[in-house]
């Protein structure tokens, strides 16, 4: 087990955080590639125009551009579907980038420190899973506590999604930069 290097965070937490952030960056670069290909601009110009935008804002700009340029509906849907997974984890990405972390419950988990300070301590949104039971679960978008396994799995899923997304946009010729 890694030693704690930053409060409750171990080297493994930081590795998983880095993986998640890097996966978001890679998805953003693909969105910029598509914007350049569809608009006829060069990628550098698109990167300059969108550099101040968040992931969510880049996603919205891309989808609006695809609607404006009348990209075939099946391509639009595929792109939107590939962007759904990172969209699901945007809150986690923002917490990694903008929060400090504290030990969470259950044991060996962490949560952003904003949940343990302020007027509403440890708010944890949960939802009834139905089926007549009184069981509640967190939605991915509402998840606030993460184990190392959770973070590893999220990073792996985002990385796999990126590979599929990149292969798809190359296949449908929406990469502005030729594949190396």
Instruction: Give CA–CA dist 7/21, Å, rounded.
Output: 20
33 in a domain, yes or no?
Answer: yes
**62 in Cβ contact with 31 (< 8 Å):** yes
Task: Give me the residue label for tokens 């009184």.
Answer: 134
156 in a domain, yes or no?
Answer: yes
Confidence of residue 144 (pLDDT cuts 50, 70, 90): confident
Q: Which domain holds residue 66?
A: 9-100+146-171
**37 in Cβ contact with 29 (< 8 Å):** no
Instruction: Give CA–CA dist 177/158, Å, rounded.
Output: 22
107 in a domain, yes or no?
Answer: no
The tens digit of pLDDT for each residue in 37-69 reads 999 999 999 999 999 999 999 999 999 999 998
Nearest CA to 82 out of 172, 22, 158 is that of 158
Number of separate domains in the chain: 1
113 in a domain, yes or no?
Answer: no
Residue 61 Cα to chain centre, angstroms: 16
36 in a domain, yes or no?
Answer: yes
Note if the pTM is more than 0.85: no
The tens digit of pLDDT for each residue in 68-115 reads 987 899 999 999 999 999 999 999 999 999 988 888 777 778 888 875
């Amino acid at each position: 087990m890694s030693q704690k290097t930053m409060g409750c965070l171990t080297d493994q937490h930081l590795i998983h955080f880095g993986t998640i952030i890097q996966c978001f960056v890679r998805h953003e670069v693909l969105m910029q590639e598509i914007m350049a290909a569809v608009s006829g601009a060069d990628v550098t110009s698109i990167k300059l125009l969108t550099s101040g935008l968040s992931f969510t804002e880049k996603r919205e700009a891309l989808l609006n551009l695809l609607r404006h340029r009348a990209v075939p509906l099946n391509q639009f849907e595929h792109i939107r579907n590939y962007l759904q997974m990172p969209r699901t984890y945007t809150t986690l990405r923002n917490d990694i980038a903008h929060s400090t972390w504290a030990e969470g419950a259950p044991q060996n988990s962490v949560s952003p420190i904003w949940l343990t300070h302020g007027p509403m301590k440890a708010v944890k949104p949960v939802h009834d899973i139905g089926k007549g039971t009184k069981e509640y679960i967190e939605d991915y978008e509402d998840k606030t506590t993460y184990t190392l396994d959770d973070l590893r799995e999220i990073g792996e899923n985002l990385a796999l999604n990126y590979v599929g997304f990149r292969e798809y946009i190359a296949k449908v010729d929406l990469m502005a930069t030729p594949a190396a």
